[in-house]
Amino acid sequence: MKRFMIGQHMCFDDAKYARDFRKGFYGIEACMFENESDIDKLIVVSQRDNLNIGIHFPLRGWVSKHRDPQFLAKDIVIREQFYKVMEEEFIYLQKINPAYVLFHYPKPVILDNRVDWNIWRFADKSEYIFESNYTLEELQESSEYLFWWLSEKAEEYDFTPVLELDALNRYIYDTNLLEDLLNKYPKVKLCLDTGRLHCQDRIDENFDAKQIIKRFAKYAEVIHLWNVKVTEIVENNHYPTLSSLKAEDGWAPIAEYMTIISQENKHVRILFEHMSHLISDEELQSCYDWIAGMIRE
């Protein structure tokens, strides 16, 4: 379980920490805290309990009206504004010394025009653009700069940059663009999110979640692990990954996902990005034990 993490979103939740955390876990991923006092508590607890901290950008929820920097925006002024916010946050995070800082990629998300994205959750219309309005060449150019810049900042501020794959289009799964960048800039790592992968697998006939996991797991620093039921509707977002949840009922095939991941990457961290209050203490422990067993195998 030394590779396991729990999340803390918007605040440092003492009750969640007491219930979800286990001795020997790797650490905590923190995101969008609403005040400095909770950040101070995060620092105190991490030092006291010898924990590692990952940051799901931003840690300070008030630094930008958008959670996710839109570093691929077509408007260069918007891109530069987000790069400035990111650097300011890196400077602030020196007080925490995070193991990694995570961002969503691509952002804005580039949507395949062939797919009905109605179930996909976006906080704002600026967070996405359709493939018909954003070329592969534009993505290549803006991504090249992003990977170079993050690699430079990783060296300067001593953290691992992590890109969490958001909704993906053919520019990612039908080309080698992303692999080429990851090989050219090895400081930059990925995050695979099981819930997002499953949702797109269910709504996009051109997308194969297991193939994406097979291709990209070796580049992953962390897995965001949760389940969701997708039939004609989406139900139970961020539900814990219990062995009793069956793929034939619309749930993600977590055992298949984890088998591929464990074969491809023996060191990846596992963040339980779930709503643990939905299940009992016994079910929560069985969730941990089930995933730990698959990793050991």
Between the alpha carbon of residue 183 and those of residues 80, 90, 101, 121, 131, the distances in Å are 25, 24, 19, 31, 25
72 — pLDDT class (breaks 50, 70, 90)? very high
Q: Give the three-state DSSP class for 217.
A: helix
Per mean pLDDT, which range of 16-20, 66-70, 262-266 is the poorest? Answer: 66-70
Task: Please state which of the ranges 67-71, 112-116, 244-248 shows the lowest mean pLDDT.
Answer: 67-71
Residues 29-57, mean pLDDT to the nearest whole number: 96
DSSP state string for 29-68: EEE-B-SHHHHHHHHHHHHHTT-EEEEES-SBTTS-S-SS
Q: What average pLDDT does range 64-79 have in this prediction? A: 89
Residue 165's pLDDT is what?
97
pLDDT for residue 135: 97
- Percent of the chain clearing pLDDT 70 (strictly above): 99
- Is residue 297 pLDDT above 80, yes or no? no
Query: Are the beta carbons of 91 and 259 closer than 8 angstroms?
Result: no
Backbone φ and ψ of 270, nearest 5°:
-120, 110
Strand pairing report for 227-230 and 234-239: antiparallel
- In this model, does residue 65 exceed pLDDT 80? no
Flag whether pLDDT at 51 surpasses 90. yes
CA–CA separation, 76 vs 212, rounded Å?
Answer: 30
pLDDT tens for residues 90-130?
999 999 999 999 999 999 999 999 999 988 888 788 899 99
- Confidence at residue 63, expressed as pLDDT on a 0 to 100 scale: 84
pLDDT in tens, 197-212: 999 999 999 999 999 9
Instruction: Tell me the longest C-alpha to C-alpha distance in the chain.
Output: 51
| Average pLDDT score, the chain | 95
pLDDT at 119: 87
SS3 148: helix
Return the pLDDT at 30: 97
Instruction: Give residue 88's pLDDT.
Output: 96
CA dihedral 282, 276, 195, 246 (to 10 degrees): 30
